[in-house]
Amino acid sequence: MTDYLTIARDGQSEIEVKRSRFLATVTRVEEEAAARAVVERLRREHWNARHHCSAFVLGPSAQVQRSSDDGEPAGTAGAPMLEVLRGREVSDVVAVVTRWFGGVLLGAGGLVRAYGDAVRATLDEVGLQRRRLLTEWVVELGHAEAARAESELRARGVVVVDASYSATVTLRLGVAPDDVDRLHGLVAELSGGRALAVAAGERWVDSGRA
């Protein structure tokens, strides 16, 4: 697994079905505790709502998946919300749909459609972005060559994660795992063979709208 989709930003949207209001909130999170904290925050914020149904998917391989009907008939709220997240292939996101009952029973099918549609509309609103797994490399350069090297590396698709300045300039770079050989060639070319890229781990980074 070297890339996956998540939401481009947090957001909300609301739909109304037979006088019931469904406010869907999607928030980017990376841990289960953070996802549950979002649910509790919305429960406190919208204390007068009847239900706060939720679903979340976490991890690069979507390894954590949970849902809650929060008092709605079993399988009519959290499960369809989770199915929307799975269908869009998004992870590191929690969706909460807050419902104010409008006095008209929707039936199981109506609830499934309403909760799914609320999450679907909010994902359309916020958009998606891709995250990539990059290997990190550290390169030390002299001040005279660092600025040009940094510019050239960026122009050739290398992510410059950080640059720190002291007696020398230390660039922390990120490239896809299958692009490491090209990075070594670029560093050698731009430094006249004087610098080496040293491995420094891995990290997930946002890489633009999907």
**Where are the chain's structural domains?**
3-126, 132-209
Q: Which of 33-47, 75-89, 135-149 has the lowest mean pLDDT?
A: 135-149
Q: What is the pLDDT of residue 209?
A: 83
Q: What is the pLDDT of residue 207?
A: 81
Closest to 183 in 3D by CA, of 164, 168, 200, 166:
200
Non-local (6+) Cβ contacts of 15 within 8 A are 21, 22, 24, 114, 117, 118, 121
- Say how far apart CA 174 and CA 136 lie, in whole Å: 5
Q: What is the pLDDT of residue 1?
A: 78
The amino acid at 190: L
Confidence band of 50 (pLDDT split at 50, 70, 90) = very high
CATH of domain 132-209: 3.30.70.240
The CATH class given to the 3-126 domain equals alpha beta
Question: 117-163: per-residue pLDDT in tens?
Answer: 999 999 999 999 999 999 999 999 998 888 899 999 999 989 998 89
Q: What is the pLDDT of residue 56?
A: 98
Task: Please give the residue that has the higher pLDDT: either 210 or 193.
Answer: 193
Mean pLDDT of 101-109: 94
Tell me how far CA of residue 142 lies from CA of 49, 145, 167, 173, 210, in angstroms: 61, 6, 8, 16, 37
Q: What is the pLDDT of residue 200?
A: 93
What does pLDDT average to over the chain?
95
Question: 175-189: per-residue pLDDT in tens?
Answer: 988 899 999 999 999
Q: What is the pLDDT of residue 30?
A: 96
Q: Where are the beta strands (DSSP E) in the chain?
A: 3-7, 11-17, 20-28, 51-58, 64-68, 93-100, 128-141, 159-165, 169-175, 198-209
Q: What is the pLDDT of residue 210?
A: 73
Q: What angle do CA 23, 130, 121 make, to 5 degrees?
A: 20
Could you give the angle at which helices 78-88 and 107-126 cross, rounded to 10 degrees?
A: 40
Non-local (6+) Cβ contacts of 112 within 8 A are 75, 76, 77, 79, 80
- Say how far apart CA 57 and CA 32 lie, in whole Å: 9
Helix or strand or coil: residue 148? helix
Q: What is the pLDDT of residue 174?
A: 92
pTM (two decimals) = 0.84
Closest to 54 in 3D by CA, of 64, 40, 39, 33:
39
Q: What is the pLDDT of residue 208?
A: 79
Closest to 125 in 3D by CA, of 38, 18, 34, 14:
14
